Amino acid sequence: MFPLTRAIRVVNPRESKKDKPMNLFSQIRELVIDNLHAMLSEGSLPRGLSFDNVAVEPPRDAAHGDMATNAAMVLAKPAQMKPRDIAELLVQNLAMDPRIESAEVAGPGFINLRLSETLWRDLVKNVLETGADFGRSGMGQGKKVNVEYVSANPTGPLHVGHTRGAVFGDALASLLDFAGYDVTREYYINDGGAQVDVLARSVYLRYLEAHGQDVAFEDGTYPGDYLVPVGKALKDKVGDAYVGQDESVWLVEIREFATAAMMDLIRDDLKALNVTMDKFFSEKSLYGTGLIEDALASLEAKGLIYEGVLEPPKGKTPEDWEPREQTLFKSTEHGDDVDRPVKKSDGAWTYFAPDIAYHYDKVQRGYDELIDIFGADHGGYVKRMKAAVSALSDGQTPLDIKLTQLVKLWKNGEPFKMSKRAGNFVTLRDVVEQVGADVTRFVMLTRKNDAPLDFDFDKVLEQSKDNPVFYVQYAHARVCSALKKAGETGAAVTDADLAGADLSLLSDPAEITVAKKVAEWPRLVEIAGRTNEPHRVAFYLYELASELHSLYHMGKDKPELRFVQEGNAQATQAKIALARAVAIVISAGLGILGVTPAQEMR
């Protein structure tokens, strides 16, 4: 009954046979593809055509209808036909489908589709029935993805830069989960390098201080107040055992103690931002266990390790440059610009070696995709990490690295830089305690990750339209308020009641417009998930909120558009059903961003 070629269709596992796909765009795309296959089998299209580039998208101009497809134009060349000829044929077939109100050829060969209003009403019903899961996609096909983010050195509290990385990574992880991936959130603890020795020495100073000694924090130590309690805690634990002792006596133990204390601090910071990790991976655990050696051996087996001397960078030779032989990873074989050292001249590992081992471990754990989130200042490591993963996985495991740009803080119209807590940088706590986790998270996602972000303490708390946090929250609260009011008039307003409402009472173009915006949600989830760009969710929510507010305000001039229709429970139900559908999507979207939807504004 189906043409054989149907088998090549990508089947969405979450969309079972009996349920309609929730994504109207992919639903209509399938209709278009099915019709193209039909044209193929009846000979009006030549064999061997690929339909991969056929897209069904919302047109930029609403006057062009609800959806548009480029099918005729992308097929014209391979089919050696005129676009309009293909379009004319396709239009005739499409128009037979009950879901299509009208189909017409426009411009150079676009096909503009107008959908039956029933579809939009069904969609609203579908949202109410599906609830928070509306828009959840099967795109990821359950693939295992590892998202590594924050990964700050365990030497102090998280600062603003980490905050952006934390929010971005966490939202991306949630987004991918919603898009059908099996996501692991992971934090790499850099507890193996010289910086934790510095930490230990700094804590030792605070420890001496706790014993009443005067100490001086020289360059190369961490002077922040946050180590004061750690010094005291150490005193409580070991008494005066380390006082006057040589570093060789206490370094290892204090390092352990201090690192653990810093990780507690960092975990608390993350918790304050509602970020939870599935796994913390310790760099130190790679040493002395053969894991680094294994990873390097894997590269060596591929002929990618050699002893050699690097050329100095051209145009900017460091003053103390001298050629030396090192153990190098032939990263140039996998797209890097120069080969990278994995061992220092004294034979110790460079920082890159454990990084390779760590990613080797991730590959070995069987992830289908890896994502690393770095601060923009680590942009220089992107190529070598990609080269490493490419080599370690034989090109089988894609690694996407997202960089988060700087956050510039403003307060009272001027740059805000100092922190009482940490001395020379503003901490995550400083931000969250002033504006709250919800606001922090939303604002951090109102820019593309690779664009610098201005964070103005005054503006983000402002209750006005130019503050997207407020605007989106207000839309949700407004629906809650309307729902409550509708309930008071006697209308039944549980989601189940609303799903059963007579939605044919939603007939005004303004109402259909809002339903159409809701219909874009599943598509947006897939686009944002495909590009690893959670900020798209934030922008969409703003647009959706705007539609809701707009409809609400139309009720001023057109009473029949008001959400609550006094004395008409049926009409009220229909209006509230639409509003509630918007709220459900806002709530789900905010959930991905890690923001709590507001029930009321105050």
Partner RNA sequence: GCACCCAUAGCUCAGCUGGAUAGAGCGCUGCCCUCCGAAGGCAGAGGUCAAAGGUUCGAAUCCUUUUGGGUGCGCCA
Residues of this chain, 30-69, that bind RNA according to CB under 7 A: 52-53, 55, 57-61, 63-65, 68
Kindly tell me which residue out of 506, 535, 582, 588 binds RNA, with binding defined by CB under 7 A. 535
Q: Which of residues 385-404 bind RNA (CB under 7 A)?
A: 403
Kindly tell me which residue out of 3, 46, 142, 313 binds RNA, with binding defined by CB under 7 A. 313
d(Cα 186, Cα 280) in Å, to the nearest integer? 6
- Of the pair 272, 487, the CB lying nearest RNA is at 487
Minimum CB distance to RNA, residue 405 (Å): 7
- DSSP letters spanning 53-110: T--EE--SSGGG-SEEE-HHHHHHHHHTS-HHHHHHHHHHHHTTSTTEEEEEEETTTE
- Of the pair 1, 309, the CB lying nearest RNA is at 309
Kindly tell me which residue out of 125, 302, 378, 411 binds RNA, with binding defined by CB under 7 A. 378
Candidates 85-93, 204-212, 214-222, 551-559: pick the segment binding RNA (CB under 7 A).
551-559
Note whether 368 binds RNA by CB under 7 A. no
Note whether 314 binds RNA by CB under 7 A. yes
- Of the pair 208, 389, the CB lying nearest RNA is at 389
Kindly tell me which residue out of 220, 466, 509, 567 binds RNA, with binding defined by CB under 7 A. 466
Q: Which of residues 108-147 bind RNA (CB under 7 A)?
A: 108-110, 112
Apex 512 CA angle, 510 and 513, nearest 5: 65
Note whether 539 binds RNA by CB under 7 A. yes
Number of residues interacting with RNA: please give it, by CB under 7 A. Answer: 106
Minimum CB distance to RNA, residue 453 (Å): 7
Q: Which of residues 419-448 bind RNA (CB under 7 A)?
A: 447-448
Candidates 42-50, 239-247, 274-282, 344-352: pick the segment binding RNA (CB under 7 A).
344-352
Kindly tell me which residue out of 3, 312, 395, 490 binds RNA, with binding defined by CB under 7 A. 312
CA 270 to chain centre: 17
d(Cα 223, Cα 422) in Å, to the nearest integer? 8
Candidates 140-148, 175-183, 270-278, 535-543: pick the segment binding RNA (CB under 7 A).
535-543
d(Cα 385, Cα 401) in Å, to the nearest integer? 9
DSSP state of 242: T
Note whether 478 binds RNA by CB under 7 A. yes
Candidates 117-125, 141-149, 205-213, 474-482: pick the segment binding RNA (CB under 7 A).
474-482
d(Cα 61, Cα 73) in Å, to the nearest integer? 19
d(Cα 218, Cα 460) in Å, to the nearest integer? 38
Kindly tell me which residue out of 380, 415, 509, 567 binds RNA, with binding defined by CB under 7 A. 380
Minimum CB distance to RNA, residue 536 (Å): 6
- Of the pair 451, 496, the CB lying nearest RNA is at 451
306 φ, ψ (degrees, to nearest 5): -155, 160
Contact 562, 575 (CB under 8 A): yes
Contact 517, 25 (CB under 8 A): no
What amino acid is encoded at 149 in this protein? Y
281 φ, ψ (degrees, to nearest 5): -110, 120
Q: Which of residues 142-201 bind RNA (CB under 7 A)?
A: 153, 190, 192-195
- DSSP letters spanning 427-467: BHHHHHHHH-HHHHHHHHTSS-TTS-EEEETTGGG--STT-
Candidates 40-48, 158-166, 260-268, 339-347: pick the segment binding RNA (CB under 7 A).
339-347
154 contacts: CB under 8 Å, gap ≥ 6: 189, 190, 191, 196, 199, 259, 262, 263, 266
Minimum CB distance to RNA, residue 479 (Å): 10
Choose among 147, 133, 123, 128: nearest CA to 178. Answer: 133
- Of the pair 162, 235, the CB lying nearest RNA is at 162
- Of the pair 140, 341, the CB lying nearest RNA is at 341
The three-state DSSP-derived secondary structure of 535-577 is HHHHHHHHHHHHHHHHHHHHCCCCHHHCCCCCCCHHHHHHHHH
- Of the pair 233, 376, the CB lying nearest RNA is at 376
d(Cα 410, Cα 420) in Å, to the nearest integer? 16
CA 285 to each of CA 146, 191, 279, 481: distance values in angstroms, whole numbers, following the listed order: 19, 9, 14, 53
Contact 57, 26 (CB under 8 A): no
Note whether 271 binds RNA by CB under 7 A. no
CA 446 to each of CA 66, 312, 541: distance values in angstroms, whole numbers, following the listed order: 28, 41, 11
Kindly tell me which residue out of 214, 218, 322, 414 binds RNA, with binding defined by CB under 7 A. 322
Candidates 42-50, 93-101, 496-504, 522-530: pick the segment binding RNA (CB under 7 A).
522-530
Kindly tell me which residue out of 16, 289, 424, 463 binds RNA, with binding defined by CB under 7 A. 463
- Of the pair 274, 481, the CB lying nearest RNA is at 481
Choose among 104, 12, 118: nearest CA to 67. Answer: 104
Draw the binding track, 75-114, toward RNA (x: CB under 7 A; -: no contact): -xx-----x----------------------xxxxx-x--
